[in-house]
Amino acid sequence: MKTKKINRPFKINYAPPPDKSISHRALIFLSIARGKAVIENLSNCEDVIRTKKALKKIGYKIIDKGNHCIVYGNPELRINRKMAIDCGESGTTIRLLSGLIAAISNKEILLKSKKSLTKRKMVNLKKALSKMNIKIKLKKEYPPIKILPSKIKDAICETKSAQVKSALLIAAIKSGKRITIKEKNETRTHSENILKYLGANLEKSKNKLTLKSSILKSKKIKVPGDLSSAIYFIAAAILNKGSKIEIKNTTLNKGRIGILRILKKMNAKINWLYTKNKMDDIGNISAKYSPKLKAIKINKNILYKMIDELPILALIATKAEGTTEIELIKELKNKESDRIKATLDILNRLKIKYRFKDNILKIKGPNKLNGGFKHNGFNDHRILMTLFIAGLFTDKPIEITNSRNLKKSYPEFIKDLKLLYKNH
């Protein structure tokens, strides 16, 4: 598939797809809560479907009803037979289920993986869960994950990962144990927000979270739009002369809006406004063409709040005046691809002037974007979407050879991208 250059301004009201992170967590937490509840606007991406299928295989009852589903909570459910569960390529599924299964299974359970997930290290997950006396085995450092029957105990843990944090919280809530989690850099807080919404006994300070024995009570959850998907369309509006985008009802979780804060510092014309919501931080975003983007220095600590956005940030930086400096973090290497390597490859293909040394990426701008090449996006949905947005501005089209992986997080991406050409 070849990208298409955009030559006219667009002004659109854009509805991003349902948030993937919240969809995973809503399915799991309502499955272990007491009572029946509806999830509205559940994501239909491949990763979330993996979690839903896994929960059904374990024995939880989930009924699909078009664009929503009904979850029949079963806090007493136990696994009393060996089984293998296919997590596909979903890192969220395999990590969160590790915590759940460890707490409810009397038998050895195997969590299988495919393709990119087989190359994603799970050492940090194993180390954190071991603090709770949870016994898991890896294939060296990687999936599949074998979960052994374990006697879970109270624990104090540290982690830099929102998914590992969620696995710990799930294991604690299901086993009735107390967990205290310390974070040097606060990550997305969807799990603790949903837990509090469902009645968990949870205390939180600036960098410490404590969950005590609790009973969850089911409530309706309406999943907001996904900021991690919307950011590609925000980038298109910021970079395209005369363009404007309005987005309503999307997640503005404080662990997710690092990219918005960075764009604001770069002089992008972007604003966001919180709306009332009992479950999580949700609101509206507006952004428009920003002809005077400026380069800034970006500290690594904020990257924990924008772990998926490095590639699109690097693309935006190519149009900023001056030299943007980004201090990178090693966690970027353990995603669907090595996102540091993938981002540098994109910059090379676009013929962008940059320097990478001592884990600091320096991008000099503004630059013309050169196309005329083929790319498979390293089979990474975030890299693929970045290439499609780059193709809006390249002198020649980019031929993308594997767009199927967009289904992992955003099945409607190509359809929504066409809105930029239709709404002038």
Complete edge-to-edge strand list for the sheet that includes strand 83-86: 83-86, 109-112, 142-148, 135-139
Instruction: Mark whether 395 is an active-site residue.
Output: no
Query: 221, 201, 279: which is closest to 70 by C-alpha?
Result: 221
Report the distance separating Cα 24 and Cα 19, nearest Å: 9
Encoded tokens for 315: 């693309």
* Contact by Cβ (8 Å): 39, 73: no
Secondary structure of residue 298 in the 3-state scheme: strand
Which of the residues 47, 226, 280, 308 is marked catalytic? 308
C-alpha dihedral, 83 to 173 to 23 to 390, nearest 10°: -90
Beta strand ranges found along 113-234 (DSSP E)? 135-139, 142-148, 155-158, 179-182, 202-204, 208-211, 221-222
**Sequence-ordered list of residues with C-beta below 8 angstroms from that of 303, at least 6 positions apart, any chain:** 258, 310, 326, 327, 328, 329, 331, 332
Q: What is the DSSP string of 357-406?
A: ETTEEEEEES-PPP---EE-GGG-HHHHHHHHHHTTT-SS--EES-GGGG
Q: What residues are labeled active site?
A: 308
